[in-house]
Amino acid sequence: MENTKLSPLQLFALLVLFQLGTALVVNLGMEAREDAWIAVLCGMLIGCLLYMGYAYLYITFPDKLPTQYMRLLLGKYLGGIIGLAYILFYMNKSSRDLLDGGLLVFVSTLKETPLFIINTVMMLAVVYVLHKGIEVLARTAFILLWIVFVIGIVILFMLLFSGIIDFTRILPVLSDGFKPVLKSVYRQNYQFPFAEIICITMVMPYLNNKKAGVRAGLISVLLSGMILSGTAVITISILGVDIAERSIFPLLTMVGKASIADFIQRLDILVVMVLIIGDFFKIAIYFYAAVIGASDLFKIPYRKILYPLALIVLFTSITISRTYSEHVKKGGDVLYIMDPLFYVILPAGLVIAALIYRFRTRRKSGTRIS
């Protein structure tokens, strides 16, 4: 482990930017159509419950990485295999998010630039910051979070004063009942982006205040959920469900319609800035979780394993899909089939094992005292 300490505010900044990341890019909750915002809020509540499970493991083993307490709870070999599975899982997620960021830049601004070049530049930026350490990444997140909030407020006022918002487009509420909302929550919203914060368990051992850090993480989930839900409301109110559902980058399309007296317009670049910042931190945190886990599991110094794994993530991001539609389809298949294993099933097993471990530890200590 690195000899660094993070403040609760820095963890809060990392988590907010991580959750906003690619969630602002895609059609979040659109299976529920006009009620997408309700699906996001429901997903947020389930995400809070999952986060408390992840936090319990951290509180039980505050000075250990997940790859360490997995081996302690499940044994050297089984725990090592599950730890390796999580490392590969995090690398796959970082490569997919790298492709998301590259495609966003390619479609919105650099249409003549090869995708490989865009992804390489983004990955170099991630590796440079992580080479400096997780503390540098956390400090950067705290600064950039304020910039994102300011840009968000500017965009919100622009949309409000443009007069293009029609809240009747989200009505009637629950016109088809609660079933479409539950389907959207089950298939997407509780996992993406809320359950994805499981990778932050690789960062939490560096906190300098355990209780305040756990509270900051929970608040970040609530805040991110409200921001994403509000974004869904405004997107549908401007574009309508059908256009928002078909749009590749609905937030970009929505802001492109904002204009005040034909003088202030074309705020697309601000949206691109926000999305690149969020995607950068999502790639960085997933990749850091993979690197620090591999470093612990294989007993290789952190900075020595950083660059080889970066090359694997970079080339995977180019070869993982041939088209954007294929990329989205594969992502959906993974989200529905594989992700619950890493977000819910395995963590639930670890929580049960941790409860048994604590019970046995207390029983042994009580026997010794008597």
Report whether pLDDT(319) > 90: no
Rounded distance between C-alpha atoms, residue 132 and residue 130, angstroms: 5
Q: What is 9-77 written as a DSSP string?
A: HHHHHHHHHHHHTGGGTS-TTGGGGGGHHHHHHHHHHHHHHHHHHHHHHHHHSTTS-HHHHHHHHH-HH
- Please report, rounded to a whole number, the percentage of residues in the chain having pLDDT higher than 70: 91
pLDDT at position 262, please?
60
Rounded distance between C-alpha atoms, residue 2 and residue 16, angstroms: 23
pTM tops 0.95: no
pLDDT at position 1, please?
57
Count of other CB atoms within 10 angstroms of residue 200: 23
pLDDT at position 370, please?
45
The residue with greater pLDDT, 1 or 109, is 109
Report whether pLDDT(164) > 90: no
Residue 6, beta-bridge partner list? 207
pLDDT at position 121, please?
95
The helix/strand/coil state of 300 is coil
pLDDT at position 290, please?
97
pLDDT at position 159, please?
84
Report whether pLDDT(324) > 60: yes
pLDDT at position 364, please?
75
pLDDT at position 345, please?
95
352 pLDDT band, cuts 50/70/90, is very high
Q: What is the pLDDT of residues 12-68, one digit of tens each?
A: 999 999 999 878 877 787 888 899 999 999 999 999 999 999 999 999 999 999 999
Q: How far is CA 349 from CA 50, 190, 203, 290, in A?
A: 13, 19, 21, 21
Rounded distance between C-alpha atoms, residue 28 and residue 37, angstroms: 9
Return mean pLDDT, the chain. 88
Q: What is the pLDDT of residues 110-134, one digit of tens each?
A: 888 898 999 999 999 999 999 999 9
299 pLDDT band, cuts 50/70/90, is very high
Average pLDDT (284-306) is: 95
Q: What is the pLDDT of residues 226-250, one digit of tens each?
A: 999 999 999 999 888 888 888 877 8
The helix/strand/coil state of 121 is helix
Q: What is the pLDDT of residues 165-216, one digit of tens each?
A: 888 999 888 888 889 999 889 888 888 889 999 999 999 999 999 999 999 9
The residue with greater pLDDT, 1 or 45, is 45
H-helix or E-strand spanning residue 224: helix 210-239
Where is mean pLDDT largest: 18-27, 289-298, 330-339? 289-298
**H helices then E strands: how many in the chain?**
15, 2
The helix/strand/coil state of 184 is helix
pLDDT at position 160, please?
84
